[in-house]
Amino acid sequence: MSDDHYKKLAVLGHPIKQSKSPIIHKHWIEKYGVKGDYAAIDIPPAALEHEFGELIAAGYNGFNVTAPHKQDIMQYCDARDRDAYEIGAVNTLYFKGDKLWGSNTDSYGFIENLENSVKNFDWTKGPAVILGAGGAARAIAYALKQKSVPIVRICNRTIANASDIVADMGGYVMPWDQKEEALLDANLLINTTSLGMTGKAPLEINLDNLPQTATVYDIVYAPLITPLLEQAQARGNQTVTGIGMLLYQAQKAFEIWYGIKPDVDDDLIEKVLK
Ligand SMILES: NC(=O)c1ccc[n+]([C@@H]2O[C@H](COP(=O)([O-])OP(=O)(O)OC[C@H]3O[C@@H](n4cnc5c(N)ncnc54)[C@H](OP(=O)(O)O)[C@@H]3O)[C@@H](O)[C@H]2O)c1
């Protein structure tokens, strides 16, 4: 007999073994006593159509989607909510009746993490500088637009990628070698490149131009305190780590599936950072 409350969930990506999503969602499934399971499934890009079709046929009720499928998965959605539509990528799928909907909870995760880390953060106080123009930067540029940040500067190695985001979200493109100039009156500096991540080159940036009142947010969370955050802390800037963005994007996905807004508690943070 099928159980209508049981949810078969999974995160899809390639590679996938690094994903923390199973730890997060299994923690909440257990904590809130809801029924379900959450798997991590590796799907190479060429196999997406076939394997996704098999998962739907197998009765899965919802998915998270990570790199490199966040855009390609959209073609299998019957509909997308406003956030997914505006961002142009999907990271959460769920059923409404028999229709498969795509959502994107990354911008929510980005905002919640900052607002929970820096009390009374004033988004409108000054410009924001985004370093990088990949998938995460696109969701963040959308979040900054929602929060009415007055000026957004996107500095990226490949100008065309920054231009694409600016065309959709507004803001200004700045060349990678002018990132220090972009900092002059900034209220918020966000690293969305993979630089500074364990195993990658460090992010080399001189922060002398950055006002001491600015907040520095690195979405890279391995290591938790990146060299950028160390540098910012040493000169007295407030800092925000990337782990919360991951946890809060998951919070909204769980709420979409189960109708329960789960807590981002210390036990969970400890489990995810292990
Ligand atoms: N905390 C969270 O919840 C969260 C969520 C999503 C992503 N992330 C992290 O954010 C990072 C970016 O993710 P993503 O999905 O946006 O990746 P992505 O789409 O591959 O974008 C990577 C970005 O990094 C830039 N970059 C890479 N190597 C560089 C180098 N040597 N010099 C200068 N720029 C370089 C790329 O520039 P080009 O455009 O020139 O290639 C691009 O802007 C990853 O470390 C990921 O783990 C964290």
Tell me the per-residue pLDDT of 70-82, one tens digit each, with 9 for 90 and over.
999 999 999 999 9
The DSSP code sequence of 57-76 is HTT--EEEE-TT-TTGGGGG
Query: What is the pLDDT, as a whole number, of residue 1?
Result: 43
Instruction: Verify that 93 and 127 share a domain, yes or no.
Output: no
Ligand 1: residues within 6 Å at CB?
A: 67, 109, 132-137, 156-158, 161, 192-195, 197, 201, 219-221, 242, 245-246, 249
pLDDT tens per residue, range 74-117: 999 999 999 999 999 999 999 999 999 999 999 999 999 999 99
Q: What band does 183 get if pLDDT is binned at 50, 70 and 90?
A: very high
Residue nearest to atom 17 of ligand 1 (CA): 134
**Residue 36 domain flag:** yes
Instruction: Verify that 97 and 128 share a domain, yes or no.
Output: no
Q: Can you tell me the distance from the alpha carbon of 205 to that of 225, in angstroms, rounded to the nearest whole number?
A: 16
Average pLDDT over residues 165-172: 97
The answer to whether the predicted template modeling score (pTM) of the entire model surpasses 0.85 is: yes
Q: How far is the CA of 11 from the centre of ligand 1 (A)?
A: 20
Number of domains in the chain: 2
pLDDT tens per residue, range 208-218: 999 999 999 99
What is the share, in percent, of the chain residues with pLDDT greater than 90? 97
Using alpha carbons, select from 151, 166, 239 the residue that is nearest to residue 196.
239
Using DSSP, state whether 92 is helix, strand or coil: strand
Catalytic residues: 70
H or E, element range at 39: strand 36-42
Q: What band does 45 get if pLDDT is binned at 50, 70 and 90?
A: very high
**Residue 176 domain flag:** yes
pLDDT tens per residue, range 125-164: 999 999 999 999 999 999 999 999 999 999 999 999 999 9
Residue nearest to atom 19 of ligand 1 (CA): 134
pLDDT at 225 over 90: yes
Instruction: Verify that 129 and 204 share a domain, yes or no.
Output: yes
Query: What is the pLDDT, as a whole number, of residue 274?
Result: 87
The token pair that represents 236 in the structure block: 């007295």
**Residue 1 domain flag:** no
Please, what is the average pLDDT of the chain? 96
Instruction: Verify that 36 and 62 share a domain, yes or no.
Output: yes
Kindly report the CATH number assigned to the domain that includes residue 256.
3.40.50.10860
Query: Ligand 1 pocket check: which of 194, 245, 264 to mutate, most ligand atoms within 8 Å of Cβ?
Result: 194
Instruction: Verify that 235 and 116 share a domain, yes or no.
Output: yes
Residue nearest to atom 23 of ligand 1 (CA): 193
Q: How far is the CA of 182 from the centre of ligand 1 (A)?
A: 19
Residue nearest to atom 6 of ligand 1 (CA): 136
Instruction: Verify that 16 and 136 share a domain, yes or no.
Output: no
Instruction: Verify that 229 and 144 share a domain, yes or no.
Output: yes
